Structure 1
Amino acid sequence: MNKMMVNAGGVVMRLKRLKWLGLLGVLGAFLGGSMMTAHATDTNATAAMPQGVGSLENIFTMPSLSGKLSNSAKLITSTNSENAGQPAVQITDAKNQVGAVWSTTDNLLDLSKDETASMWLYFGGNADTPLNGTGDGMAFVLQNVGPSAITSGISSKVSPGQTLGVWGLDNDNTASNATTIAAKAIQKSWALEFDEYDNGSRQGNDNGGFDGSNGVDGSHIASNYPGEASSYTRHGTTNNSNKYYYTLNHQGIIGAQLSDGAWHHVTLTWQAPAVGETAGRMTYTFNDKNPTTGLSQTATATKTETVDIAKLGLAPIATTTSAREVYWGFTGSTGGAYANNVVAFDQVPGLVDASADMTIKDETLDKTLKTSDDYVNGNDDLTYQYNLTYNGGKQDWTNLVTSLPKPADVTFSGGTITYADKTQEDFTAAELNSATITHKLGKALSATNKTATVKLTGKAKAVTTNTPVAAANQSFNGSNSVVATESPAYTIYPARSLYLRMASTNGSTVKTGESLPLSGTVSVDSSEKPDDPIENKDVTLHTTLSNGNTIDNFTLNGTTSNADEEGAFNFQLPASKLSPGVNQVTMYATDDRGHRSNTVTFDIVLNGELKFGTVSQKSSFKDTVLTGNTQEVLRQNDWQVEVDNTLGSGTSWTLQAAASQFTDDLGRSLRGQVIYVDNADQTHTLSTTPTTIMKKTATQASETTDVAADWTDKTGLMLKVNGDAMAGSYSGEITWTLTNSVPS
């Protein structure tokens, strides 16, 4: 049992009246100005634009918007040498704008089918060196209204600001019903917002208070139905509770840095409703590709939200072939602050459904490379094979051009493309010798010619040192779809092999504060180099931990009893490098000529502990005006009770509290007592006998729980004051007790 004392004094009760000072704010903004020349207002939008589709013709329109608004959306083109001339849509780039781009009527999104869309988004700005600062952002929208849809009520006197061109307009502080707000949004729609600006006004009448709810803090991604009243929550304004402002109910929220001067990749995956139902699922994944290399990377975040197509005015799915089509696209807006918001599409849903995969095979060793730990030997014969498949769509996959970076230490001597119809074409020698192998396919892929197999044959160079070949983005760029696959990283080694073996006597558990001795041997394959001895000074051991902590490399150092023993090593693994629970250790060896051994992995368990973390040494309840009746006094924001559990997943603990009698400076006891209200609205009076406050079973190897963080104005510790209490300042003690079990 672990026991701590916490003074919760400072409960002050003074008979007084509080005065509120209301502050009024007025925000003026306007729309106006003529269409600008189609160019980006900061160079990074075009110079660093990632690879996208080569044409947007007949895919999107930038129409005149409802209410005779000027549509700020326009086409810009890439100046990146890798994809110069590629089009993208710039939604906004100046103050007080509203823009929209919608799919054409021939390119509606059929929500009765599973679909995938992906695009690159640019939000301007940079935290350190602002370009145009931070704007309001933009939104991906599904809507069943038409190609001129936009938030209504925006004018030269009403800034679009936080609406992003899709949400409702909150510029009337007399609007007592959320229906008024929702009626001005794009009806029959679902929107995924990329909100750069934290709209936290509480004044009303300024269209500036949508954020500050549901955990919103700064730029974020979130979704909801713009035309539904349930998407908005009414609040009384700061200075007048009879006047109102509204917050947006943010669903599936992701905190995300947007206006950072970088491109961000987003993938949207739609899972259609079942037959007879209207509930589909939209998964949105953020930052899942590297904008410089195009390679897949661990996404910043991903969320899946249910989308009811009935709210888009669509009927339940009747059969597997019954279409349920909607317009889709992007809207955006700016107020007084602005940024350059740009979209570059790389997979347009419904247009072309295509896929690509690749394999690298070492023909000499008869093995396929799968992970970054794989290797080939110098002079081995290699085959790079790419399989392209047209899965369907409204258009053929046309004007296909390969973009295949050639590794510096691989040479290709031949290349062919074989189509499903058995026809074949060859790569030229000039194409194969280029740093990036570029070849325009002679045929489109379509429903009648669905596949193409691209095969490059060559050799690994005769390297003399350990030579890594990096993973690379291999793309196939059509005018209406870009499909990419990633080549695996591997290493080219000379022929000689090293073998690493760990000693069978090594331990597998260690306690906090201790270290674990580990030992083993590294040897050379005797069948390859029987007369080539290994010297300890030339062999380096590399050790990594699954928790990301680093271990310094070291050379072979013999055994503890014989420091000169050939091929042997030993080292002490500090427990301070380990995380509580199971840690995977990975080791491999290299020598001075670039050879790399096999990789060995094993598990080590670090036993943890249960203890208090940060606990407020002095906490208080709010100043309260006595009424002569029994009343409950809420806490100030100075309570913190943390529990650190590093015992591992599945371990349990109980936190209890006991309270002394509160007294004033004259020694008079407070007529009242500390109470605890649990989440079931049950009230428990704290006395000198401990009362259970929280029980928890860990779901992770290491957890820190702030017990007070989840308390609300209706739960947690409070002070219950009797009607005959005397005014004064009272203090007392609360004793917290932590045990590593959950009492029955």
Structure 2
Amino acid sequence: MRINKTIQFLVLGISLLLGILVVVNPTKAAIDPVPAHITNIENLFAPPLKESDSELPVDGVTVINPAANDQSGAIWSNPDNRIDLSKDFEATMLLNFGDSGSNAADGMAFVMHADPRGYNTIQTGGTGQQLGVWGSASSVDVSPAIKKSFAVEFDTRHNDDWDSAPTGILGTSKPLVRNHIAWNYPALTSSYKDFGIIGSKIRLIHNDVKEFPGSDGKWHEFNVKWSYADHTLTYKFDGQDPVKVPIIVNNIFGTTQVYWGFTGKTGKSNELNQVAFKKISNIPITSQNYKVYHKNGNALGAEVTKDNPAKPLEELKGVLTINNDPTSGSDWKQVGVRYKTDGTDTSQGVSYVADDLMINNKLVSKNKVSTGLFKTPSIDLNGNTLTPHDATENDFFGTIEKNTFSTGVNMGDVTKNSTSKIQFTLTAFDPTPTDGTTNLGRNYEISLDGKMARESTEKAVYVTSLPKLVLDKKWTDPTKEKPIALTGSWSQSSATGKIDSHALGTLHYAIDDGAEKTIAQNNVGPKLVSGIPTVGLSLNDTHKLTLYMTNAGYNEKSAVVTVYFKLKGGTLLLGKVKNEIGFEPVTVGKNTINKRDNTDWAPTVADTRGTGSRWDLYASSTGLTRTTDHKQLDGGLVYVDGQKSTDVTEIPQRIASKTTTSDDDITPIKWDDNQGILLKVNAGAYAGDYTGTIDWTLGNTPAP
């Protein structure tokens, strides 16, 4: 080993400080998160018309109109969710008028109607102040208004004549507060007043005017109650006093079945209008719960979970529980139940092969033939009409590998305060993905779609098998300080006899029954990721290495593999070699032996080859020369050992040696101040700066 060290170089780093101009744009106030509400309203309200700027609900929140100019939106209950005015009704809504503040316009309205257009009702054209429901703002003309209707407006912009009230003095008027709530009947001419003397000045008659915060980014609660006994509608906004409105149903609507919903409009200013529904009294309150269980004889065992997964070819029991709450507003009618499997690998997870699909303890089919007790649904999940036929189990499970819901089975009605059950036997096949993170388990989804309610539950089912660890029969003892590189393979078998290529795992190991450690593995295959460190292990003893595999996510454990080994010798290294070393200053004109300029001068020898190893360290030099003219120094390096002094020349001079007494031997080369390598300067030496090179040579000498 030879290490040459000469002059140390100086590297200058020049840094440049750059000025960065950061422009921060002001942001609008954030809109508050929506409070708790009904999230599955798809079966309660019809999709917005193409002429409408309203949006489909997302997690139960519907945008009536976006924050853009000249928008007109409307959402309406579907026919099954109409208000039956021959019965009591109550709904609590959450309203948000955006965060446009004083720039907001124009608001929205709660509307009940029996317009012949039904849920296809939409006001096109007109101005923002009409809010998508009122008549003309330029004359007493109710033709643009929604027919046979009642409306409560939430107006966020003042319009001079429209939003005014008479003072009682010579036909003069005064403006209403900017953000106001009021009610009236949009299709009645009596709801409007032309108070102009020269030219038309149209005023909307505002009943029971109340102020509200307007477009403040917050959600506000709006409650509506209809009393059949009193024929009175009572509404309440946040904590304000309630407003009671007697309604002669036949005169206003001409029927007891009325659509209800919201309209909204913007003009040359805008706001984001949103609605969520907290409570609706006439709808079913439903829930479902899908679980897969291990079987315990003929009974249900423990649930299949990540910590208690199924094994390939194990029979399992799927149970779907469907509830209609005691406080529900109605029966859940004509419930279609559908099944979907996510993913494309047809052998992973569980499959239905048992021919025992039962709904409320009644078989759907037997020997693949319908029992005639159940039909398929009459509409699909998009509302398209279907032709029902006698259902079989294949209608429930038949498309489970296509990432789409099956045709489904119509299980009938789930009455108020009742529970229905669907049960079936499943068989576990190949292990589900086992990377232990996002791709764990196989997802199955069941959709329940009935009148006025829709439920959907996604269930992850876990299937795994025991991993297998195999080491090559040929074992090579490792070298000290080098990691143990295992050769072998690990695998995870499937029900179909294949190797599960999705599996990821963890190698567990312990040396000499010490603390267990782990190494993450890649996908199954012939190459193990090992690199087991051997630092600190003795060379002369036999060591025990125990190993086993677990698969990611499930932690199923393979059989333990045990091997024994001895470490081969380690390494001999020269370390801590300085780039620049020197001596104390010299006064020329006399013969001197000069000391080193610091104590941390010579290198360190690290020997991990084991107890009894031998090494020798040599030094050599070609002499020192003056930096200005390369003149040779009169003198040079000498090695002083006791009273003996030897010139350090081109011929290597042994300066240290050792036979180690431990497996891990670290020896710093140190001398007393007047010993070791020193600088001899003769009286004839010239003044100047001298440089040279020391070559350190470390010899690997066999022990005697």
- TM-score of the aligned structures, taking structure 1 as reference length: 0.34
Rg larger in 1 or in 2? 2
Q: Which has the higher contact order (CA 8 A, sep 6+)?
A: 1
- TM-score of the aligned structures, taking structure 2 as reference length: 0.36
